[in-house]
Structure 1
Amino acid sequence: MSEEPLPYKKSLDLRSRLMRLVGSAFDPRAWMHLFKIINYYNYSHVSQLRVMKIGAEPSISPDAVFANGERIVLGDRVRIGSRCHLWAGPAKGRIIVGDDVLFGPDVMLTAASYNYNRGSPVTEQPMSEGDIVIGNDVWLATRCVVLPGARIGDGAIIAAGAVVKGEIPAMAIAAGSPARVVSQREVTHRPAD
């Protein structure tokens, strides 16, 4: 039995890469896509920042995405990492974030969810909303998800990939899906300046 040879990725030579570049520069579809990206960035980031209540000294990644910014409140010194999504509800669901909160990359907060048992398609169903309240000095690690109605107490840490619904007490370390308290945070304060 002869084995079929494994394929190799083809490398383009310099001339082929230049031709591809020239073709892309004159392709109207590429320019239309650029306008779509600019439009998306404007309505999901730039225009939302104008209506949000943002505390002093924020650090917000340029690729963070917001929805219904008029119902989002960020405290002082909040740090929002790359590709985070903060979606307040379309009617009343708020997102309230305390001071000194750290968002790792790809964190998702949504204050609304579809009612999926009221017909089809799901996207045409009414939404259930609930405020998300995050205390001070909270760390939301990479790719955690916070669902409508969640409450996270001061000093809590939410582990990477955790899904938070309900309440996480102050100073708790929570992990899993759904997130459960797995440890307690012990804080030693840094010396005063």
Structure 2
Amino acid sequence: MPDNVPIIDLSKAPGSRESWDRPFWIVLLWAVVEPVLVTSSLQLSSRVRIAVLRWFGAEIGPGVIMRPGLKVRFPWKLSIGANSWIGERVWLHNQDRLEIGHDTVISQDSFVTTGTHAVKTDMALVTRPTFIGDGVWVTSRCMVLGGSRIGTSALILPNTVVKGDVPANAVYGAAPATVVGDRFSDDTRARRPSPDSR
């Protein structure tokens, strides 16, 4: 490895408390309550998870279903619309505002974040709001990065990394991720290309 490649001294990296937006005691209390009543693998009712999240400031509409293993960084920065489903072991790492629309599905093992780090300077936390629209389906094991906006009724294919904007009604995925067709269309030509057509 060349000697002139810089290394960031992580001992001097700024902390992330500026993203808390709540007193230390509330963040500490959430750190105790979350694993017991929200993340727990026990088949606790969605109503218990929702009640706890609302008590800590989350905005959650009626009819929402939340499965075991859910992790939420800061409930007071979370909004979920009515009738949405949040699957097993979903991690909502929302150090900034995260808005999830109504009738939206975030499937199991998916990771949604609002943050990253200043990778070329001091590794300071950098956050941007993330928006997942109404009627979206983020399928299993996807990653939605900070600042992304997923449009109404888009479908994100399994194991896809979303960075930036996804148009409404798009089927988004593949390697590299791209729009491969319309989710709702009378046009039978709007289909994923076959491997031999490339």
Q: How does the TM-score come out when normalised to structure 2?
A: 0.66
1:135 CA displacement? 0.9
- Residues 49 and 111 (structure 1), Cα distance of their counterparts in 2 relative to 1, 3 Å cut: same
User: 2:113 corresponds to which residue?
Assistant: 110
Say if 2:62 is the partner of 1:56.
yes
- Residues 43 and 178 (structure 1), Cα distance of their counterparts in 2 relative to 1, 3 Å cut: farther
Separation in structure 2 between the aligned mates of residue 179 and residue 86 of structure 1, nearest angstrom: 21
User: 1:9 corresponds to which residue?
Assistant: none
Q: Give RMSD over aligned pairs.
A: 2.3
One-letter code aligned to 2:93: W
One-letter code aligned to 2:35: Y
Gaps of at least 5 residues in structure 1 are: 1-37, 120-124, 189-193
1:49 CA displacement? 4.7
Separation in structure 2 between the aligned mates of residue 81 and residue 94 of structure 1, nearest angstrom: 20
Q: How does 1:137-148 map to 2 (within 5 A)?
A: 137-148=135-146
- Residues 116 and 42 (structure 1), Cα distance of their counterparts in 2 relative to 1, 3 Å cut: farther
Q: How does 1:39-188 map to 2 (within 5 A)?
A: 41-42=35-36, 45=39, 47-50=52-55, 51-89=57-95, 93-119=96-122, 125-176=123-174, 179-186=177-184
Gaps of at least 5 residues in structure 2 are: 1-31, 40-48, 187-198
1:176 CA displacement? 3.5
Q: What is the number of equivalent residue pairs in this alignment?
A: 144
Contact 1:165–1:179 (8 Å) recurs in 2: no
- Residues 166 and 70 (structure 1), Cα distance of their counterparts in 2 relative to 1, 3 Å cut: same
> SS at 2:79's partner residue?
strand
Separation in structure 2 between the aligned mates of residue 186 and residue 39 of structure 1, nearest angstrom: 41
Contact 2:130–2:147 (8 Å) recurs in 1: yes
Larger radius of gyration: 1
Q: Deviations over 1:28-85 (max 9, x none)?
A: xxxxxxxxxx766148655545321100111001211101110110000010000001
Further displaced range: 149-158 or 168-177: 168-177
> SS at 1:148's partner residue?
coil
- Residues 68 and 155 (structure 1), Cα distance of their counterparts in 2 relative to 1, 3 Å cut: same
Separation in structure 1 between the aligned mates of residue 62 and residue 183 of structure 2, nearest angstrom: 26
> SS at 2:89's partner residue?
coil
Q: Percent identity?
A: 27
User: 2:19 corresponds to which residue?
Assistant: none
1:183 CA displacement? 1.3
Q: Deviations over 1:78-128 (max 9, x none)?
A: 100000011111xxx211011000111101100011223334xxxxx3211
Separation in structure 2 between the aligned mates of residue 177 and residue 163 of structure 1, nearest angstrom: 10
- Residues 178 and 88 (structure 1), Cα distance of their counterparts in 2 relative to 1, 3 Å cut: farther
